[in-house]
């Protein structure tokens, strides 16, 4: 389990942990397969939005529709429904980031004063959670103890086991401005609607170079309740979210594979998905989860799963589905957001798929690709879907597409009108993460 900044095949600090998680068996209640990429040619149609959006239809196959958003409006104002935590680029973990959005009239500097560190999780977990009272923000702060090695030829060699950083969970009060540590030696948190807090706490507080960062999953009531270990043994855990009264946790194995676990109480751990399948999202009431794997041909397959009963509720194959801009096949599904009867999934190389779900069915309604200079393929991360399921927000990666960290932008897309807004951190290039609480039910 290496910090993302040190992984040789890193995407960026925004990259999620490798959630490649395959449920065996189960009952199939709804199944769809969509095909027809043909040779990638497409015919343009008028979507009624002028030059902003062009709707494309496959020239061959069953007429699968996609949308290319070719006009994106830059805006100086962050969407009022969004809060973000940003970290400036090229500061080598020494400069904490800022909070934008919410009720704050200006950006807010996070982290303890004059302490070098980074206000994002080094392993890619969710950057921050706004508590239900709307005024308190839980967030990560990795205090820097020593410079992270670049592992580049000619750079200084760092001895294995060297203390590099100490992860902490902090709380910022948007009303008073107070910024206090909640727990040291901890990372990846989840907040339940009744005030139960879960996080992964290191057996040793510090992360040491080139050694596994072993942790226990801890649950406590509120910010200062007595901590209780819900795992029997330490491992490389990442806390994801609550589903009903249970906790979803990712356990990573060497080589960055892993499995999805459900913790229902102390010492009770159940494996939900096997290797090769990726957890995407939980349904609004926490009863169902969404997962993705690959078919024998390599095409993505998305499944709706009843995680308690262990049964498959619906399945959708993306065999033959194309990127409406480039014409190439969809090869990956990275994440999703689920509100009401609508799922929005992050695709590669396109950006989004709109998927109506319900009554044992899951179908593809639209594939959306955003096209503007500098946008990297498949760059839809930190997906958020408005409670009315009409507005999508996500983080897009922009940059050269090489091993350097890319700048990021916040994209807001209206599924009904097709309006698309782009916001970037003012006056500096930065890596940005959206603040959200995925635990269900709310």
* Least confident range of 46-50, 55-59, 213-217, 250-254: 46-50
Mean pLDDT of 305-330: 92
Specify if 369 maps to a domain: yes
Any domain includes 214: yes
The answer to whether residue 440 is domain-embedded is no
Tokens 């290191």, residue? Answer: 202
**pLDDT at position 257, please?**
80
Question: What is the model's pLDDT at position 368?
Answer: 94
Question: What's the whole-number mean pLDDT along residues 235-261?
Answer: 93
Pairing mode, strands 420-423 and 73-74: parallel
Each residue's pLDDT tens digit, 60-101: 334 456 899 988 999 999 988 899 999 988 766 778 999 999
Distance between first and last Cα of the chain: 31
> For 102-106, what is the mean pLDDT?
71
pLDDT in tens, 117-161: 999 999 999 999 999 999 999 999 999 999 888 778 888 888 999
Distance, CA of 17 to CA of 131 (rounded, Å):
23
pLDDT tens by residue, 408-438: 999 999 999 999 999 999 988 889 999 999 9
- Partners of 258 in the β-ladder: 252
Cα 20 to its chain centre, rounded Å, is 13
CATH for 79: 2.130.10.120
Picking from 132, 137, 70, the residue whose alpha carbon sits closest to that of residue 99 is: 137
Task: Scan for tokens 């400036």, then name that residue.
Answer: 88
Strand order in the sheet with 288-294: 31-33, 311-317, 300-306, 288-294, 278-282
What digits encode the pLDDT tens for the residues 346-377?
999 999 999 999 989 999 999 999 988 889 88
Q: Distance between CA 421 and CA 409 in Å, rounded?
A: 10
Who's near 341: CB < 8 A, 6+ residues apart? 356, 357, 358, 389
Distance (Å, whole) CA 134 – CA 422: 25
Q: Which domain does 384 fall in, by range?
A: 4-434
48 band by pLDDT with thresholds 50, 70 and 90: very low
Residue 194 domain-assigned (yes or no): yes
pLDDT, one tens digit per residue, over 189-200 is: 999 999 999 999
**Does residue 441 form part of some domain?**
no
pLDDT at 43 over 80: no
Neighbours of 427 (CB within 10 A): 8
Q: Percent of the chain beyond pLDDT 70?
A: 83
Residue 52 has pLDDT above 60, yes or no: no
Domain count along the chain: 1
Nearest by Cα to 332 from 299, 376, 290, 366 = 299
Task: Kindly state whether residue 439 falls inside one of the protein's structural domains.
Answer: no
* pLDDT of 406 higher than 70: yes
Q: What does the pLDDT read at residue 92?
A: 67
Of the listed ranges 73-77, 183-187, 247-251, 379-383, the least confidently predicted one is: 379-383
- pTM, full prediction: 0.87
Percent of the chain with pLDDT over 90: 65
Cβ neighbors of 305 (< 8 A, separation 6 or more) are: 23, 26, 272, 273, 288, 289, 290, 291, 311, 312, 313
Q: Do the Cβ atoms of 364 and 358 come closer than 8 Å? A: no
Predicted local distance difference test score (pLDDT) of residue 229 = 98
The arithmetic mean of pLDDT across residues 32-55, rounded, is 35
In a domain, 442, yes or no: no
Q: Are β-strands 391-398 and 407-414 bridged in parallel, bridged antiparallel, or unpaired? A: antiparallel
Alpha carbon distance 358, 285 (integer Å) = 13
Q: Cβ–Cβ contacts within 10 Å for residue 386, how many? A: 18
Q: What is the 3-state secondary structure (H, E, C) of the chain?
A: CCCHHHCCCCCCCCCCCCCCCCCCCCCCCCEEECCCCCCCCEEEEECCCCCCEEEEEECCCCCCEEEEECCCEECCCCCCCCEEEEEECCCCCCCCCEEEECCCCCCEECCCCCCCEECCCCCCCCCEEECCCCCEEEEEEEEECCCCCCCCCCCCCCCCCCEEEEEEEEEEECCCCCEEEEEECEEEEEECCCCEEEEEEECCCCEECCCCCCEEEEEEECCCCCCEECCCCCECEEEEEEECCEEEEEEECCCCCEEEEEEEECCEEEEEECCCCEEEEECCCCCEEEEEEECCCCCEEEEEEECCCCEEEEEEECCCCECCCCCCECCEEEEEEEECCEEEEEEECCCEEEEEEECCEECCCEEEEECCCCECCCCCEEEEECCCCCEEEEEEEECCCCCCCCEEEEEEEECCCCCEEEECCCCCCEEEEECCCCCECC
Task: Please give the structure tokens belonging to residue 419.
Answer: 């309006």
- Considering only 33-37, 138-142, 216-220, which range has the smallest mean pLDDT? 33-37
Work out the average pLDDT over 209-221: 96
Q: Give a three-class secondary structure readout of 406-422.
A: CEEEEEEEECCCCCEEE
């Amino acid at each position: 389990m290496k910090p993302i900044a040190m992984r040789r095949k890193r995407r960026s600090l925004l990259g999620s942990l490798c959630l490649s998680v395959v449920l065996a068996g189960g009952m199939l209640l709804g199944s769809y397969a969509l095909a027809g990429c043909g040779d990638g040619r497409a015919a343009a149609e008028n979507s009624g939005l002028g030059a902003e959006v062009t709707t494309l239809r496959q020239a061959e196959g069953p007429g699968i529709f996609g949308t290319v958003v070719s006009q994106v409006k830059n805006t100086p104002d962050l969407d009022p429904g969004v809060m973000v935590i940003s970290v400036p680029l090229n500061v080598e973990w020494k400069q904490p980031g800022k909070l934008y959005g919410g009720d704050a009239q200006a950006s807010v500097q996070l982290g303890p004063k004059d302490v070098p560190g980074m206000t994002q999780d080094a392993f890619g977990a969710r950057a921050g959670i706004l508590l239900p009272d709307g005024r308190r923000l839980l967030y990560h702060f990795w205090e820097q103890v020593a410079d992270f090695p670049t592992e580049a030829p000619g750079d200084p060699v760092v001895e294995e086991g060297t203390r590099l950083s100490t992860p902490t969970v902090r709380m910022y009060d948007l009303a008073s401005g107070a910024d206090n540590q909640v727990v040291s030696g901890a990372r990846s948190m989840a907040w339940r609607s009744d005030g139960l807090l879960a996080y992964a706490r290191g057996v040793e507080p510090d992360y040491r170079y080139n050694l596994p960062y072993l942790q226990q999953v801890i649950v406590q009531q509120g910010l200062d309740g007595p901590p209780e270990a819900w795992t029997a043994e330490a491992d490389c855990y990442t806390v994801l979210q609550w589903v009903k009264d249970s906790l979803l946790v990712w356990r990573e194995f060497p080589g960055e594979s892993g499995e999805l676990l459900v913790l229902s109480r102390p010492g009770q751990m159940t494996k939900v998905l096997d290797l090769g399948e990726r957890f995407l999202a939980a349904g609004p009431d926490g009863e169902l989860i969404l997962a993705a794997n690959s078919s024998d041909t390599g095409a993505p397959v998305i499944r709706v799963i009843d995680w308690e009963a262990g049964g498959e509720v619906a399945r959708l194959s993306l065999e033959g589905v194309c990127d409406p801009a480039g014409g190439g096949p969809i090869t990956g599904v990275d994440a999703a957001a689920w509100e009401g009867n609508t799922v929005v999934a992050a695709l590669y190389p396109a950006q989004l798929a709109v998927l109506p779900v319900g009554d044992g069915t899951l179908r593809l309604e639209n594939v959306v690709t955003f096209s503007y200079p500098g946008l990297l393929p498949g760059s839809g991360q930190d997906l958020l879907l408005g409670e009315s399921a009409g507005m999508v927000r996500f983080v897009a990666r922009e940059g050269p597409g090489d091993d350097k960290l890319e700048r990021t932008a916040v994209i807001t897309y209206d599924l009904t009108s097709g309006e698309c807004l782009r916001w970037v951190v003012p006056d500096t290039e930065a890596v940005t993460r959206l603040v959200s609480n995925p635990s269900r039910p709310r």
